[in-house]
Every structure is written in structure tokens, then in C-alpha cells.
Chains A and B, each alone.
Chain A
Amino acid sequence: MIKELTTKPLHTLLLALADDEFILGYRNSEWTGIAPMLEEDVAFSSMSQDEIGHARLFYQMLEAETGTSADKIAYARQPEEFLCCRLMEHRRLDWAHAIARQFLYDTADHVRLEALTRSSYDPLRNAADKIIREEKYHLLHGDMWMNRLAMLSEDSRSRLVASLEILWPDALGVFEPLPGEADLVADGTLPSTMADLQIEWLAQIAPYFYNLNLPFPAEQDPETRQYRATVQPVYGGRRGEHTEEFTELWTEMTSVYRLDPEAIW
């Protein structure tokens, strides 16, 4: 199915954007009913709905391009046809892990969206404009929790640090170069390369980590002053390479759909 869906690099981009949001939304809704406080049940659920809503927007753009319905795009593919980055695949662990993942993704996504607000492709530019405003809430929530976990106790700090260490390599994967990216940059659909966006992201969040005295696995090149990661990024997501955890997720996610793919629900 993926071959019909990604006949142009634009499609690959839309699918990657959609899948990132869709799978993160899935993970976030796993906290429903079991967050540390009811208030956070509601907050995480709002973010999850935002994410699935954004995924739907991107799937609908792909529908407009290819004629395949958004629901079919979301539900009818095999696991290896998903282009989400590996950050989303980790199953729900503890709260520090959830906050760390959310923060890394939301700040990275912010840089990506900001670039897309300058995209030459109208639907994407319009969508990015709207989405970036909704994401304000996520950044606010993430900021509040990162601060509290980092500063309120030794226990919470050590949990946060441990989670960040696990997640950094996968977070860098948000900016894995996309297949066909050169064309997208050439025609302005993607105003910067993923590699450049990654550098921008690291520069943007570096002060945040220094202020909170959290380990930051990147350093500045002494001449260019550009940040580069000091850990190996985990790539492969944009090429459909996923883990066992993702297959489990996919099996659950499509279980009702697969009972009768032709049914209207």
C-alpha cells in the first residue's frame, strides 16, 4: 500500500508528520485513567486529542493528494509501512519517561512546524500555522513538569535524567533525513533540511537544559558554533524500520478495524 501512497516526496513528508502525531497520541492516551492525578488524566487526554487531530489533518491532506481515505491510510497499512520516528514506539513506562518524551518531541516538532509555516505547499503552511498555536499548551505543560521533576527532589531528578538518557538517541530520530528530502528542500515544501532543523533544535533547547542543570548530549563546534549530538541517533523509522513494541502497538490499534476492513464504524 505504501507504494501507492508515496509516489512523491511530499507524500512521504505528510505520512511521516501524520504517523509521528498518530502514534504519540496513541501512547498518550494510554495514560487515561491512570495518570498520577486526575488533573493530569485530563491534561494528557487533551494533548492526545490534539495529536490525533493533527494526524487526521495530515492524513486528510494525503487523502486529497492520493484519493485514499484518511481512515484507510491510518488503519490499513502494515507496521513496516508506518513512517513514525522511533521515539513514539516505547511503550508507556513511568511518568518521568512520559514527560521527557513529550518535551523532547514537542520542542523538536515546534522547530519543524515553524519551518513548515514557511512551506511553499499551501495546505501544509496553513496547517502548520494552526497546529503551532495548539502546541502552545503542550509546551507550557512540558515546561512546568520538566521544571518540577528537575528541581523538586533528588528522586524525581534522577528519574528524569535516566529517562532522558534512554530517549535522546530516539529523539534525534525526529530529524532523520527523509527519503526524497532534497526535492522537498529544492522546491520549498520543506524550507530547511532535517539535519539543519536538528541543529536549530539543539541550539534552542540547550539553554533550557543548562539552566535546569540537566545533562545535554550535544556540544558546540568550536568554529561554526553549531550544535551536534554526542550520542548516536537511532534512525530507521522514516524507512519503516520499527521495533517489536511497535508491532504490538499496531496489532492492538488495528484489532477492531481488521475484524472487517470494509465495514463502516
Chain B
Amino acid sequence: MPVFEVFTQPRMGKPFEHGGNVVAPDPELAVLYAREFYGRRQESARIWVVPREAIMEIKDPDLLNPPAVDRSYRSVAGYSVRDTLRATRGTVIGSQQPD
């Protein structure tokens, strides 16, 4: 029997989370059972049911977390405003910035 993955949205507007999966002989029953296993306790505002075969996975760490090159230019942690201010204070013309 085909496997269907179930994604649940715990509250309106929130991101969908992977809840688990169900087996069913056809999509109609899959939807019914998804409601039973992932919605019978009113724990979901909305549910998506997807055949497992429709899901494509990326898990290669070289694609997702390659180690070599410094990529801090595109992360918040790559910027220290304090360091920048210290380095540039002397060259700002006309500025009367307090220390």
C-alpha cells in the first residue's frame, strides 16, 4: 500500500510541519486517515497529505553545509557594527559623533 506523508499546521498562518505518515489503498482514504491520526484531537488547523513518491529529498551535506569558503558576508553574524564604527570614526568628515 502506498505511503502518504502528512504535514500539519498547528495554528492558522503558522508553518506546516511534518507530522508523520499513513498508509492507505487510495488517496481518499489517505485523507480520512490523516484526519484521524493527525487531527482527531483538534491539534491541526490545516493538513496537507502528499504521496511519499512525490517528495524529493536533498541530504548531501556538501550541498547543504559545504565547509570550505568563508560565507559570513551573507549572515548576520558576519557583521560587527562596533568594529566597523571603531575603524571608520577617524575618517568621517564633519562628524561629531560621541565616543
- Are A and B direct contacts in the complex by CB distance below 8 Å? yes
A residues neighboring B (CB under 8 Å): 39, 42-43, 46, 137, 140-141, 144
User: Which chain B residues lie closer than 8 Å to A46 at the CB level?
Assistant: 36, 40
Check A39 against B40 for contact (C-beta < 8 Å): no
Q: How far is the CA of A43 from the CA of B28 in the complex (A)?
A: 14
Among B28, B32, B35, the most chain A Cβ lie within 10 Å of the Cβ of: B32
Asked if B36 and A42 sit within 8 Å, CB to CB, the answer is yes
Given A46-B36, A46-B40, A137-B35, residue A39 in contact with residue B22 (CB < 8 A): yes
Given A43-B33, A144-B28, 17 more A-B residue pairs with CB atoms under 8 Å apart are A39-B22, A39-B24, A39-B29, A39-B36, A39-B37, A42-B33, A42-B36, A42-B37, A42-B40, A43-B32, A43-B36, A46-B36, A46-B40, A137-B35, A140-B32, A144-B29, A144-B32
Chain B contact-residue range equals 10 to 19
A197→B22 CA distance, assembly (Å): 39
B36 → A minimal CB distance (Å): 5
B32 proximity list for chain A (CB < 8 A):
43, 140-141, 144
- Shortest CB-to-CB span from A95 to chain B, Å, is 14
- List 21 contacting pairs A-B, 8 Å CB cutoff, sorted by A: A39-B22, A39-B24, A39-B29, A39-B33, A39-B36, A39-B37, A42-B33, A42-B36, A42-B37, A42-B40, A43-B32, A43-B33, A43-B36, A46-B36, A46-B40, A137-B35, A140-B32, A141-B32, A144-B28, A144-B29, A144-B32
Q: Roughly how many angstroms separate A43 CA and B24 CA in the complex, as a whole number? A: 13
A243 to chain B, nearest CB (A): 33
Q: Which residues does chain A contribute within 8 Å of B28, judged by CB atoms?
A: 144
